[in-house]
Amino acid sequence: LDFALVSDLLETYNNIHVCELVDLEEGEIKSAKELIDDKEDRPIFVFALRMIKEHKNIYFVSGDKGFFKEKVKKSLNYKVVKTKEFIKIVKPS
């Protein structure tokens, strides 16, 4: 796949953000290594961390149990939720 083509397609959606791995900061990498066991989840963690810092009303929706460890939830300002929890947040009964 041509990354530029995929990137252009994804940019047509306002709720999808692309973050290149070369943009990672040393502190972010260190935090990810300390908090996230699964190497493949570390870039996802860093991206979620950035989005939560940049946007007040944003949540990271995941079903991955690795993101629900207390130390991970705390680092994400407790903005990591499961789908059912998110639905309750956006559409209270």
How far apart CA 44 and CA 72 sit, in angstroms, is: 12
18-26: long-range pairs with CB below 8 Å, 24+: 19/43, 19/46, 19/47, 19/50
* Both tokens assigned to 45: 């963690």
What is d(CA 91, CA 93) in angstroms, rounded to the nearest whole number? 6
- Summarised one tens digit per residue, pLDDT across range 22-62 is 566 788 889 999 999 999 999 899 989 988 998 888 999 99
Answer whether 65's CB lies under 8 Å from 40's CB.
no
Whether residue 93 has pLDDT greater than 80 = no
Reported as a single tens digit per residue, the pLDDT across 55-74 is 888 999 999 999 999 999 99
